[in-house]
Amino acid sequence: MSADSRSDDDRRRGEDAYAGDRSGDDRTRGEDDAARGRDDAGYGARDEREDRRRGGEGARAVGGRPTDRRGARPDEPDLPEDVQASDLDPAVRRDLLSLDKNNAETVARHMVMAVELLEDDPRLALAHARAARQRAGRIAVVRETAGVVAYHAEEWAEALSELRTARRMSGGSGLLAVMADCERGLGRPERAIELGRSEEAQRLSGDEASELRIVVAGARMDLGQFDQAVVTLQTPDLDPARTGSAAARLFYAYADALVAAGRTDEGLQWFLNAAAADVDGETDAEDRAAELTGDAQ
């Protein structure tokens, strides 16, 4: 798969990563963000200063009393009245306890909207995620959410910056695949491959490791290294008896790499395996198999 032809299935990994475990160790590099005019350290520091000036977390009015956060800022998207802070996952809401009550409620509502709009209107979802980040830029889960939503909106540089910031704040390696895919989106497949070789990558297991292999294989294909892409995906997880979303994505990526490497018959079989594993219909494996057999309508 090229960076320009990534499937919706690829981009779904952002949702999976957001819903997954955010624990663990990570020491992600912050190279060349300044070249994009978005130095992570400076960007985070500016957010923190703005939060304090505008009544973000920990902000105090004269006399040491919490500021009132009822009013919306002019650049924030509207919040529907029926969207409540209680709609946000309780574990995420707990991360907002350092905010004053009114601000925490508004941040939570923006985050609810960001998640709800993620698939249907990623641009509006991103506006809500940015509003939450502007109000609560020192909270890791808010920055992580902003990164995942920016990824879905194909704002690769912004997504990478936000995810790096979140990882420096809280650690964890569950979003490594999303970060690597951002590098692909920025036209830097070599850096995606480097992330796949990192110490953090070696500590991944299960579906997280599988997702990163899929991205690294895609980066290999971006570079025309089709045989290497095939090898990247050859793990014990390539078991045709497996079913489910993770298995279907892995089988699909493997089939795609095999076809690109000129191994069409094997690719066809793995597209069929992907279709069988894809119980939720997330991929177009059946269509790809039909194209290879000449049965496409």
Q: What's the pLDDT tens digit per position in 172-208? A: 766 999 999 999 999 999 999 999 999 999 999 999 9
pLDDT, residue 72, reads 57
How far is Cα 42 from Cα 48, in angstroms, rounded to an integer?
A: 10
How much is the pTM?
0.74
pLDDT, residue 93, reads 95
pLDDT, residue 71, reads 53
Residue 31's nearest CA partner among 43, 20, 40, 22 is 40
**Run of H or E residues at 244:** none
Question: Is 173 within 8 Å of 200 (Cβ atoms)?
Answer: yes
Sites in the chain below the pLDDT cut of 50: 1-5, 7, 9-11, 17-70
How far is Cα 281 from Cα 258, in angstroms, rounded to an integer?
A: 22
The 10 Å Cβ neighbour count of residue 174 is 23
pLDDT, residue 2, reads 40
DSSP letter for 216, please.
H
Buried b (16+ CB within 10 A) or exposed e, 10-19: bbbbbbbbbe
pLDDT, residue 294, reads 85
Give the list of residues 6+ apart from residue 244 with CB closer than 8 angstroms, or none.
277, 279
Residue 215's nearest CA partner among 253, 188, 261 is 253
How far is Cα 139 from Cα 92, in angstroms, rounded to an integer?
A: 10
- For the CA atoms of 221, 163, 95, 16, the dihedral, rounded to the nearest 10 degrees, stands at -10
pLDDT, residue 104, reads 97
Q: How far is CA 293 from CA 5, 69, 70, 228, in A?
A: 22, 61, 61, 25
Adjacent-strand bridge partners of 60 = 66
Q: What is the DSSP string of 27-81?
A: ----TTTGGGT--HHHHHHHHHHHHHHHT-TT-B-TTSPBPP--SPPTTSPP--T
Residue 124's nearest CA partner among 143, 103, 161, 149 is 149
How far is Cα 221 from Cα 186, in angstroms, rounded to an integer?
A: 15
Question: Is 147 within 8 Å of 160 (Cβ atoms)?
Answer: yes
